[in-house]
Amino acid sequence: MELASLGTHVVLHPACVFIRPERMHVGHHVIVSEFTWIHAGLTTVIGSFVHLANHASISGGGVCILEDFAGLSAGARLVTGSELVHGEGLTNPTIPPGFRAVRRSFVHLARHAFLGTNAVVHPGVTIGEGAVVGSGAVVTHDVEPWTIVAGVPARPIGRRESRTVKALEARLYADLGVPPLDPAPFVTMKRDDIRRPDVP
């Protein structure tokens, strides 16, 4: 399998599925656990020190950015795009493109963002640095840095302390000689495009 780029100390479990791997960038010290399903969409970047636990998924065909130290617990779902569902077109991949109405968007998890078990992140959402999403939450709007959210739809329930995390981050980069991911080139690729069929 040819990825767009691949770092060192990476474990991609053989029971995972990667679609369009040539559009996928993977950093250093990454683990993708069993039965994870990733459609790289337009572009997917997985930074360093990132874990995708078993049965996590990235779907929707858009742009996905997981910065360094981001984590997906088991069954977490990142949805980077979707069918439009208000009658704009026919809805599913058996339908030819000219008949479908789709949104190709993005999901962006900044550094240290952490998703609990079975959390779902909707298209167009940025999870700020250090933010935590509780198990089973459905995130429909951006989450502020170092904020803890939970519920359906997700709402803030608390704050996370940043100082210790940032100090440990600096020490780990230095100890292991890992260069921090510069997300800037990928952030410029974030988009929110809607394509509708030509209806006569």
Ligand X SMILES: CC(C)(COP(=O)(O)OP(=O)(O)OC[C@H]1O[C@@H](n2cnc3c(N)ncnc32)[C@H](O)[C@@H]1OP(=O)(O)O)[C@@H](O)C(=O)NCCC(=O)NCCS
Residues that bind ligand X (CB under 6 A): 73, 116-117, 132, 134-136, 148, 150-151, 157-158
Q: At closest approach, how far in Å is the CB of 170 from ligand X?
A: 23
**Backbone φ/ψ region at 61: left (φ over 0), alpha (ψ -120 to 50), beta:** left
What is the separation of C-alpha 52 from the centre of its chain, rounded to a whole number of angstroms?
A: 10
Q: At closest approach, how far in Å is the CB of 145 from ligand X?
A: 15
Of the two residues 91 and 117, which places its CB atom closer to ligand X in the complex?
117
Of the two residues 65 and 133, which places its CB atom closer to ligand X in the complex?
133
Q: Which of 137, 174, 136 is nearest to 155 (CA)?
A: 137
Q: At closest approach, how far in Å is the CB of 44 from ligand X?
A: 22
Burial class (CB in 10 A: 0-12, 13-18, 19+), 97: exposed
Q: At closest approach, how far in Å is the CB of 33 from ligand X?
A: 12
Of the two residues 20 and 159, which places its CB atom closer to ligand X in the complex?
159
Of the two residues 42 and 137, which places its CB atom closer to ligand X in the complex?
137
Q: At closest approach, how far in Å is the CB of 116 from ligand X?
A: 3
What is the separation of C-alpha 8 from the centre of its chain, rounded to a whole number of angstroms?
A: 21
Task: Tell me how far apart the alpha carbons of residues 100 and 14 are, in angstroms, rounded to a whole number.
Answer: 33
Of the two residues 76 and 101, which places its CB atom closer to ligand X in the complex?
76
Strands 5-6 and 17-19: unpaired
